Structure 1
Amino acid sequence: MSYVGETLSNLLHQTAFFNLSVGNYVMIAVACVFLFLAIKKGFEPLLLVPIAFGMLLVNIYPDIIVSPEHSSNGVGGLLYYFYTLDEWSILPSLIFLGVGAMTDFGPLIANPISFLLGAYFLAILLGFNDKAAAAVSIIGGADGPTSIFLAGKLGQTGLMGPIAVAAYSYMALVPIIQPPIMKLFTTKKERAIKMQNLRPVSKLERILFPVVVTIVVCTLLPTTAPLVGMLMLGNLFRESGVVRQLQETASNALMYIVVILLGTSVGASTSAESFLNMSTIKIVILGLIAFMVGTAAGVLFGKLLCFFTKGKINPLIGSAGVSAVPMAARVSQKVGAEEDPTNFLLMHAMGPNVAGVIGTAVAAGCFMAIFGI
């Protein structure tokens, strides 16, 4: 009987109940909330489901992301290798390849990115060093892959988890965060402005666009080549019309595989020990401020264009200047349709929306250039 009792006792003490802290239970609860938002509310489920599940796994079984040096068998946890691909900037770059293959750059207009610098200086004031402040400020672009990419390049891997979770969370919460800001800075008359149909874009223009952007941007900021280059390569797959199989693979199978790896590894970086601290709280708050300021700046820039074009630009499309494609453009459409159900702003908003992807990558390149990376 003593053998049976000892065996049962050993089995019982091997369960997670005897090894979890209060913080682990808090993070498990947060993961369940994320799953609820993703599944029940439909907030960016492709992102939140793997992130939330990775968060769930690491707080039940922390060794799933342990490095080989700290593991008992010298091999390391499964998600450690996924996370290494984040640190090496491989997964963020492949995400951009898929985004480029899925995105129509035809409606591209412009996108202001100056708001990122405002968040940078605020982060400095809150105690982050210059590189950490730069990595945090990029959250304002609502671009998860770029946030991960910049944090890795600037050597801020310790902050990568909170930064990535904040960026992806705000991407998912675009329909909640943006509308009040959009309505605050616009009048009913401005929101009801109908824009003229976009001019047709020729096939030659569509093919030249990714080539020219790559040459210009990557020549000026060579460090943006992994992101901008992959984004434009994916778009060239789409627009050339001669590599349909590559375009379909990049925008479907490859994209979804990378999302699974990236999402679960990002979620697994949010163990209670690394996530429940004052730095994380600051990052989440700063990310929200940067995102709100970015939205407001986009709307105000839209108002400026509306003034100069004598009412031909609906300011609402400026809010789509963040990188949450196509969610932010859909929000512009939704808010505009609330004032006039016959108003169709989606394609107009896609211009600044996809410009936001390029603009955020360029901003990341500027930060890397500043720090000599």
Structure 2
Amino acid sequence: MATFVDFINTLGLLHLTVGNVVMILVGLTLVYLAIRYEMEPLLLLPIGITAVLVNLPLSHVANWPVAVNLPENVSDSIFKTIAYMSEHYGEPGLFDLIYYLLIKTEVVPLLIFFGLGAMTDFGPMIADPKTALLGAAAQIGVFVAMLTALALGFNLHQAASIGIIGGADGPTTIYLTTKLAPEILAATAVAAYSYMSLVPLIQPPIIKALTSPEERKIRMEQLRPVSKREKILFPIISMIVIGLLVPSAAPLIGMLMIGNLFRESGVVERLSKAAQEELMNIVTIFLGLGVGSTMRAESFLTAQTLMILGLGVVAFASATAGGVFFGKIMMKLSGGRINPMIGAAGVSAVPMSARVVQRIAREEDPGNFILMHAMGPNVAGVIGTAVVAGVFLALLG
């Protein structure tokens, strides 16, 4: 009889809480959106299904808490951290190791940037450098969301992590949040990737509200050809200059530019292809599993999470508006030669934002082709968000 009772007590069903049920439903919702509507499926699918798994009671796939105030003599070493966590919280589950070894140590976010660099063509921005200003202008969304978060009672570290959602750059959001506010990592990551997938729904109403049909019809001159020498020098110079000015951004910018140099050099095509495909696929899997493992009922189901999801919309909307407003200024200064809509592509959701701008332009004028012009601010936004993250780390880290 005692053995039977012990067996019954091992049934996870008896330990299932309302919070677990809610999070399982949340995870299944993310899986549904990824499969049915293809909303950022490469990340929302692993995040969602992992959220289901870690909320199954007694599964022991994630035994350690995500945010722990470690002693100073422990936090400076991953090996000491693992030993400390094992001593105080028991043997690690699979997802504990993935999170602490690959996410918290920044390995996966940095490798994601390496792969992104190998996949990115900075040619449109090099051809028309002034469009980089639109990528910078779109970063206003980061500060609007940050200040709003502070007003709602979040501390400065949390507010900075929430604000960076406005950059529409998932790896940067994860990188910064892991360093400044790991307790809200799940919420910021889900918000960043969910709203990135919703860019085609979020941006058009804002763009149309801030521009006239005549402005949306503006055609832009064809971009000049960019030489191979320029494409090779750009990542080298960018890495050195930004690394010297904002050292805290050097890991992100450095990995992005190294990956881009692999792409543009033309002499390591095999390595470049591996970075774009095999490596990117592997680290994307670990990123999704690691983030999904933080979506546990006890830490995710809070009022803070709902506010973060709401602030994500504020961040994206204000970033889009900031880019369009600066685009209108540039339109005036250029005598009407710049279509202000390309400013909306300043958020670093590459290439989705640029495609949204192109689609709206063709709705007004089927012969208008401004995709490559929009790609300039789009790739500039990736650099801009990484630099802002570096500034936050320098000031708050």
Q: What range is the shorter-chain TM-score in?
A: over 0.9
- Secondary structure at the residue paired with 2:55? helix
Q: Work out which of the residue numbers 265, 278, 287 in structure 2 matches 1:240.
A: 265
Report the RMSD for the aligned CA atoms in angstroms. Answer: 1.9
Q: Which residue of 2 aligns with 1:91?
A: 108
Q: Which residue of 1 aligns with 2:61?
A: 64
Q: Which residue of 2 aligns with 1:20?
A: 16
Q: Which residue of 2 aligns with 1:365?
A: 390
Relative distance call for 1:276 and 1:71 in structure 2 (3 A) is farther
Q: What code does the residue aligned with 1:103 have?
A: T
Q: What code does the residue aligned with 2:60 have?
A: D
Quick check: 1:173 aligned with 2:198? Answer: yes
- For the 8 Å contact 1:98–1:250, the answer to whether it is kept is yes
- Secondary structure at the residue paired with 1:107? helix
Deviation at 1:359, TM superposition (A): 0.2
Q: Aligned partners of 1:268 and 1:140: how far apart in 2? A: 23
- For the 8 Å contact 2:320–2:345, the answer to whether it is kept is yes
Deviation at 1:13, TM superposition (A): 4.4
- Secondary structure at the residue paired with 2:110? helix
Q: Which residue of 2 aligns with 1:344?
A: 369
TM-score (norm 2): 0.88
User: Structure 2 matches for 1:1-373, cutoff 5 A?
Assistant: 7=4, 11=7, 13-61=9-57, 63-67=60-64, 69=85, 74-84=90-100, 85-108=102-125, 109-110=131-132, 111=135, 112=137, 113-154=139-180, 156-371=181-396, 373=397
Deviation at 1:10, TM superposition (A): 5.1
Q: Aligned partners of 1:283 and 1:298: how far apart in 2? A: 22
Which moved further from structure 2: 214-223 or 297-306? 297-306
Q: Aligned partners of 1:20 and 1:307: how far apart in 2? A: 61
Q: What code does the residue aligned with 1:186 have?
A: T
Relative distance call for 1:338 and 1:60 in structure 2 (3 A) is farther
- Secondary structure at the residue paired with 1:343? coil
Q: Aligned partners of 1:332 and 1:338: how far apart in 2? A: 10
- Secondary structure at the residue paired with 2:60? helix
Deviation at 1:345, TM superposition (A): 2.2
- For the 8 Å contact 2:47–2:289, the answer to whether it is kept is yes
- Secondary structure at the residue paired with 1:198? coil
Q: Aligned partners of 1:63 and 1:163: how far apart in 2? A: 25
Q: What code does the residue aligned with 2:351 have?
A: P
Which runs of 5 or more structure 1 residues have no equivalent in the other structure? Answer: none
Which moved further from structure 2: 305-314 or 288-297? 305-314
Deviation at 1:226, TM superposition (A): 1.1
Q: Aligned partners of 1:17 and 1:191: how far apart in 2? A: 57
TM-score (norm 1): 0.93
Deviation at 1:320, TM superposition (A): 1.1
Q: Aligned partners of 1:241 and 1:194: how far apart in 2? A: 33
Deviation at 1:71, TM superposition (A): 9.1
Could you list the per-position Cα deviations for residues 326-347 of structure 1 after superposition, in whole angstroms to 9, with x for gaps in the alignment? 1111111222222222222221
Deviation at 1:323, TM superposition (A): 1.4
Q: Aligned partners of 1:287 and 1:323: how far apart in 2? A: 14
Q: What code does the residue aligned with 1:16 have?
A: G
Q: What code does the residue aligned with 1:147 have?
A: T
Which moved further from structure 2: 361-370 or 56-65? 56-65
- For the 8 Å contact 1:63–1:71, the answer to whether it is kept is no
Q: Aligned partners of 2:9 and 2:91: how far apart in 1? A: 24
Q: What code does the residue aligned with 1:64 have?
A: V
- Secondary structure at the residue paired with 1:60? coil
Q: Aligned partners of 2:229 and 2:327: how far apart in 1? A: 29
Could you list the per-position Cα deviations for residues 217-271 of structure 1 after superposition, in whole angstroms to 9, with x for gaps in the alignment? 0100111111000000000000000111110111110001001000111111111
Aligned length, in residue pairs = 367
Give aligned-pair identity as a percent. Answer: 51
Q: Aligned partners of 1:11 and 1:256: how far apart in 2? A: 40
